[in-house]
Amino acid sequence: MASILNQTQELQESSKVIGHVRCENYFIFPGENTLSDGLRGVLYFLALAYCFIGLSAITARFFKSMENVVKHSRKVVAIDPITNAQVITYKKVWNFTIADISLLAFGTSFPQISLATIDAIRNIGERYAGGLGPGTLVGSAAFDLFPIPAVCVVVPKAGELKKISDLGVWLVELVWSFWAYIWLYIILEVWSPNVITLLEALLTVLQYGLLLVHAYAQDKRWPYLSLPMSRGDRPEEWVPEEIDQSKDDNDVHDVYSDAAQEAVESGNRNIVDIFSIHSANNDTGITYHTVADTPPNSATKKGKAKNSTVFKLWKHQFVDAITLETSESKKVDSIYLRIAKSFWQLLLAPWKLLFAFVPPCNIAHGWVAFICSLLFISGVAFVVTRLTDLISCVTGINPYVIAFTALAGGTSWPDLVASKIAAERQLTADSAIANITCSNSVNIYVGIGVPWLINTVYNYFAYKEPLYIENAKGLSFSLLIFFATSVGCIAVLVLRRLIIGAELGGPRLWAWLTSAYFMMLWVVFVVLSSLKVSGII
């Protein structure tokens, strides 16, 4: 009898895998249940891919607003001791290292963080944590550390070398990134196996603050808290500044007029270069301007002109959303390429029209657009979690497997775009590589720490119990595989620095061999992790 029951259970499990058990859940309409599971799986996968397209579009707008936030400067008035004249300078509000770890890393990781937080909120009241959040963040860490460097290492031109200039800051970020995954393994398998306590969740979140303090201390070279390493030959301007000869150098740079000109000239620009935030000589992005002997009426007129420009920019966002053929596509000679570009714009049109409601990033130094973009990203992430649940339901695929593969790759796309832009335009490899390590740290300390803190606080006061991890063994195994493969990745980057002289670029053959090696490490991680959480190994 026992053997018959075992066989029945095995048949049920196998039927779930091949999709024979009907999934009664639906996305929008109850009539979806009348379709076959195979057709529903295909449609849900297509919808998931379309959400990733929208996620990339809103993330680009998020980056642009973040760039304006970081460009914010404050006026500093000093008295020249010799001439007794007032000297007005503008000092950046944001430290670049802190901006990298907080705004940049947080921005590129926000799709994963939002998805994990929504998954935790949906599971409030459950004694077991959801699987989408941790699985996506660990899978995203692997995507950040393997495919993204695989792309960045071949981006520089043949023979061009780009190396990390501030090794001290990078080593601090790297150590904290590795420690994040060691810490996660300790709380899952050593400290309190298979459960997460309130103290563990709280300590996980607090370590993000320690990372910020330690990185800032290294950047400022504080004694006893920083590594005794020189800053190196980091250029004053991390991004080569394009000189516009049509402007007089003595003129005050008007960010509103430039933004309007950029909106008209560039048309549709889906990829935004956010790395100009590292330009040390970037006084052109200041918000506060002091012009001597400016008549009051002139200042009032200028304020009205700026307000008018903001509304023109906002209007242009809606016009651009419904424009299928841009000025750039009209210059293409091939009719087939023009049709393809127009079709792509047609796919993007619904997302662009929706995201056009985000105010221009010139308002309040970009903070309004920054917050609105976060809200839209959270909304798209919620739809992604629903679709992922349905895909798992109709196909029987383990949610962790989907999180390691489709979700991790889709939500990490902004990281790939940002690092690729840095590898192309920056003179060094600092942001291209630092974005990877910082994002991985943010994924654990914030992306996993905050959702677990939400659930553990509720469980502590409601049930007086910790938060249970349903597949802790599989997640711990994935952490071990990730740690082992990441050591192999970092070792190659160090060898490239010692032998070739740089982490990115170099001889074309070696660059492509390095890229292939990184991709192989990613495949090893995905395959072994998926087999483990599926119970095959």
How big is the CA angle at 373 (ends 355 and 358), to the nearest 5 degrees? 45
**pLDDT, tens only, 465-486:** 888 877 667 777 888 888 888 8
Q: With contact defined as beta carbons under 8 Å apart, do 519 and 147 qualify?
A: yes
Integer angstrom CA distances of residue 264 from 254, 269, 314, 315, 520:
16, 11, 12, 11, 43
Spatial distance between the Cα atoms of 466 and 456, rounded to a whole number of angstroms? 6
Full pLDDT tens readout for the chain, 537 residues? 333 334 333 433 444 444 346 677 778 877 777 888 888 888 888 988 888 888 778 877 877 787 778 777 777 788 878 888 888 887 777 777 787 777 777 777 777 787 788 878 888 878 877 666 667 777 888 888 898 889 989 888 877 888 887 788 888 888 888 898 888 888 888 888 888 889 999 999 999 999 999 988 888 888 888 888 776 555 444 444 443 433 333 333 333 334 444 444 444 344 333 443 344 343 333 333 333 444 445 445 555 566 677 788 888 888 888 877 666 666 666 777 778 877 888 888 888 889 889 888 878 878 888 888 888 887 887 788 788 878 888 887 777 777 777 777 777 776 777 678 778 777 777 777 776 777 788 888 988 888 889 989 988 888 888 888 776 677 778 888 888 888 898 899 889 988 888 888 888 888 899 999 999 999 998 888 888 877 777
* DSSP 8-state class, residue 535: T
Which structure tokens are listed for 282? 């970037």
Does the reported pTM lie above 0.75? no
Q: Residue 52's closest CA among 387, 386, 380, 404? A: 380
* DSSP 8-state class, residue 322: T
Residue 331: the pLDDT is 67
Contacts of 358 (CB under 8 A, 6+ apart): 58, 61, 65, 317, 369, 372, 373, 376
Residue located via tokens 């002109």: 305
Spatial distance between the Cα atoms of 5 and 7, rounded to a whole number of angstroms? 5
Q: With contact defined as beta carbons under 8 Å apart, do 109 and 443 qualify?
A: yes
